[in-house]
Chain A
Amino acid sequence: MVNIIFEDSFEGFLSALYWAFSNNIKNPIFLKAEKPSLFKKVKVEKDPNVIKTLNKIMDEDTIDMFYDAFCFDEEQAFVNIYKGFLFYMEHKHLKDIHKDFIRNINSYIKSVRRERHKCIGFLRFHQVDNILYAQFEPKHFVLDYVGAFFKERYKKENFIIHDIKRKKAAIYDKENLDISFFERTIDVTKDKYQELWKAFFDSVAIEQRTNERLQNHYAPKYFRKYMIEFSD
């Protein structure tokens, strides 16, 4: 067992994958930050040459798949991606769904894509001065995707999307989108549109058809913390 510590980015992770592959490491553990451990530790730096090589030998779809699975953001996922990477180097595809790790990779991807999509709908912005500010606590790393989505949608707005759990934020200033560490707390105040939204939300429901189970299924409770129509 070897603990491989990589720089917290997809490029950093790919560099670590490639390093483990080249050095024929059997049971690596991939870590974003150092943890106390009895195993041997190796720190792998991000290597632009490795990224270039990988871009040549892997097709785009596979890189996308690895990226989405990487966003699952759990150690077990990193290990399965490594297995998938070894398999890909040998077979040049990831279509054999009889392999456990390939099925796992597919399920990570599904989970990540689903959460990205939910976040696009459930994120709530507050107008704070001339900035639109949103907080959320996604299970996976979806900030880059969600940030890019709103960059397209709110071209001429300033916005901050704050992943409270990871202490990161996507910050957009009408020109550039930047994702970085973010530890500030920003106070949000109520405005009249929030009240209007709640009024609307109450009156579109059809009382004769109340079905909370269905509502809970589609709008899971862990999302609701920052959705104003569910707060008092």
Chain B
Amino acid sequence: MDVEQKLRILADGAKYDVSCASSGGKRETIEDGIGNSYAPGVCHTFTSDGRCVSLLKVLFTNVCIFDCEYCINRASNDIKRASFTPKELADITINFYKRNYIEGLFLSSGIAKSPDHTMELMLKTIKILREEHKFNGYIHLKLIPGASKELVEQASTLADRVSSNIELPTEQSLRLLAPEKNKENVLKPLMFLKNLRNNSEKQIASASTQLIVGATNEPDYQILRLASYFYEKKMLKRMYYSAYIPVPNTKHIKLDKTPLLREHRLYQADWLLRFYGFKYEEIVKKDTNLDLDIDPKTLYALKNIHLYPIDINKASYEELIRVPGIGRKNAMKIIQARAFKTLDEIDLVKLGVSLKRAKHFIVAKKYLGYSLSPEYIRKVLTKGNSKNPYIQLKLW
């Protein structure tokens, strides 16, 4: 099989991993070497589904001894199989990098023979890049569940980011859909790395994980509780959510397709956890999903309408960023601008603050909305076009 065909198969098999971030890296070019990582991250192109391509995201092999039901590469699935050699893959990576197609490599893999065997081949590829080519660009390496501690440690010193996918929010679901995986072998390496980070002098890669949303029926509450646990324990830098895309011949998965909107709402909520000082209990009610019609911050405001309106000219930064439609940048701009004069509606427009949502919740010399009634605001913001099938049924 020629390299182009391999690349097609192994890129296709890796695309369900949504992560493609290259941000947060700290590497500089080494003497006689090539490549550095650029902290804000770089998108090199955008696919026809509108996603950023930052890294060469491929599987080392799509041969797999596991039979996870949600996965296109599972052992029982009848698909074309291919494997790179470490040298082939290192060669493509370096040449793509030189032409500025990518920021680096995102390497995942099916499990061929055994977890350690696979992990070793992946590490060999990375070593060719780091040692022979003196490549100091970004590398994201997937940890194979069940790989030995020594290999996990090696991975964490060679890569900028490592990840271990939790896949499903509860052990019960994992047992049902991925019988060969268990909570233990997914979480252990993350714990191990956390300790390593605290005790090692070396630069240890940060970690992330991915959850498939909608293949089983855990509500968003459970998902966000899990995310916030990982963030609090500092085990993960980021959590990725991937709306389940149906694969053929499934036994236990009943849904045809999870709405992308649900994935989007989870990301919005995740941002609120990481950057806006929200707690998961504030955003989502026990055992429920996020609202599909309205973003989580607006929903929070509607449920806590007694905290609003907020006076733009007096509120603290923390209060400002809790206004729907006002983000961190706009909050800073407002604070800077109000030092010179009391801001009114026109000033906010000039500053570039979008008032579509914000106006219902703020005072700028006067209250900018029409009414603080949550029902009214919800109606205006959704324009009566509910995307939630249940609400729509009720209306009719």
Contacts and interface: CB of A to CB of B under 8 A. Distances in A.
A218 B8 contact: no
B53 A97 contact: no
A218 B53 CA distance: 11
B351 to A, nearest CB: 7
A68 B214 CA distance: 46
A155 B7 contact: no
A193 B95 contact: yes
B10 to A, nearest CB: 9
Contacts of A229: 45
A153 interface: yes
Interface stretch (B96-104, B277-285, B286-294, B380-388): B96-104
Nearest to B4: A199
A165 interface: no
Given A200-B11, A206-B49, A214-B49, A95 B99 contact: no
Interface stretch (A26-34, A75-83, A121-129): A121-129
Contacts of A194: 99
Contact of B340 (A96, A197, A205): A96
Interface in B91-126: 92, 95-96, 98-101
A215 B49 contact: yes
Nearest to B333: A97
Nearest to A194: B99
Interface in A87-136: 95-98, 103, 117, 120-127, 132, 134
Contact of A154 (B4, B34, B44): B34
Given A199-B4, A199-B8, A218 B44 contact: no
A201 B47 contact: yes
Given A153-B29, A209-B260, A197 B47 contact: no
Interface in A182-209: 193-197, 199-209
A212 B337 contact: no
Interface stretch (B35-43, B141-149, B301-309, B370-378): B35-43
B179 interface: no
Nearest to B99: A125
B99 A193 contact: yes
A201 B32 contact: no
Interface string B1-19: 0011001110110111000
Contact of A208 (B14, B96, B245, B336): B245
B80 interface: no
Nearest to A193: B95
B50 interface: yes
A156 interface: yes
Given A208-B245, A212-B48, A218-B50, A132 B34 contact: no
Contact of A155 (B16, B34, B42): B34
A196 B340 contact: no
B4 A195 contact: yes
A204 B96 CA distance: 15
A91 B47 CA distance: 48
Interface string A137-153: 00000000000011011
A229 B46 CA distance: 10
Contact of A157 (B9, B43, B98, B340): B98
B182 to A, nearest CB: 29
Given A132-B98, A157-B98, A215-B47, A204 B350 contact: no
A23 B73 CA distance: 74
B50 A227 contact: no
Contacts of A56: none
A95 B339 contact: yes
Contacts of A155: 29, 31-34
A6 B98 CA distance: 37
A95 B333 CA distance: 10
A217 interface: yes
Contacts of A156: 32-34
B49 A122 contact: no
A127 B98 contact: yes
Contacts of B16: 206
Given A97-B340, A218-B43, 4 more contacts: A124-B100, A196-B7, A196-B92, A215-B49
28 contacts: A98-B337, A98-B341, A120-B38, A121-B100, A122-B45, A123-B100, A124-B100, A125-B99, A126-B99, A153-B29, A155-B29, A155-B31, A157-B34, A157-B98, A196-B4, A199-B4, A200-B56, A201-B45, A202-B8, A203-B7, A203-B9, A204-B47, A204-B53, A205-B15, A210-B48, A211-B49, A212-B48, A215-B48
Interface of A: 95-98, 103, 117, 120-127, 132, 134, 149-150, 152-157, 193-197, 199-215, 217-219, 227, 229
